[in-house]
Amino acid sequence: MELMDIIKARKSVRKYRQEPIPREDIIKCIEAARLAPSAENVQPWRFIVIDDPEIKKEFVKETCSGIYKPSSFIKNAAAIIVIVAKLDLVANFLGKGIQGTSYYLIDIGITGEHLVLRAQELGIGTCWIGWFNSKKAKNFFKLSPRHKVVSLISMGYPAPGGTKSKRDLDLDDILFFNKDTKGI
């Protein structure tokens, strides 16, 4: 499959078949994520894979309740990838202070996209989750103050009706060259 075909086919999946993902395939996805570039090559990402049904149930109950309930569908995924940022003094704190940019968030975005595209190539559906209780997720794993749970990615084989169609903006609506920026 060509890369553009994988990119075009990738959609957020919110309904999964009850079928486990072989760990070898999960590891292939993490390997793709591991190869992502990062600011100052800090590689702030760490990945926690939850594929044990009981631990997954506990985790979702803890992190996707109350106002975060819309994300509780992830309990039916075969696996949940917890993406943790290990915060680094130079790339994260100094970079943010000088540039005003949290580079670790860019790095996590790149690594996560590598992961979901590799999953798509393997026939595994994914959904990025940003709406969850990150403090409770951090406490669930007893992570240190230098770690921040940034995102979750649910993974599983898509069930019928598990994706919604989406509308992508037209290229003419988002692409501008040089100083011709009318329409931004």
User: Average pLDDT of 102-122?
Assistant: 96
Q: What is the DSSP string of 72-121?
A: GGGGGSSEEEEEEEE--IIIIIIHHHHHS--HHHHHHHHHHHHHHHHHHH
**Lowest mean pLDDT across 52-56, 96-100, 137-141:** 96-100
pLDDT for 8-18, tens place per residue? 999 999 999 99
pLDDT for 140-172, tens place per residue? 999 999 999 999 999 999 998 878 777 888 998
Distance, in Å, from the CA atom of 98 to the CA atom of 175, rounded to the nearest integer, reads 28
Burial label for 156, CB within 10 Å (0-12, 13-18, 19+), is buried
Tell me the domains of the chain and their CATH numbers.
3-174 (3.40.109.10)
Q: Which residue from 150, 4, 175, 170 is spatially nearest to 82, judged by alpha carbons? A: 150
pTM score, whole prediction: 0.92
Residue 131 has pLDDT above 70, yes or no: yes
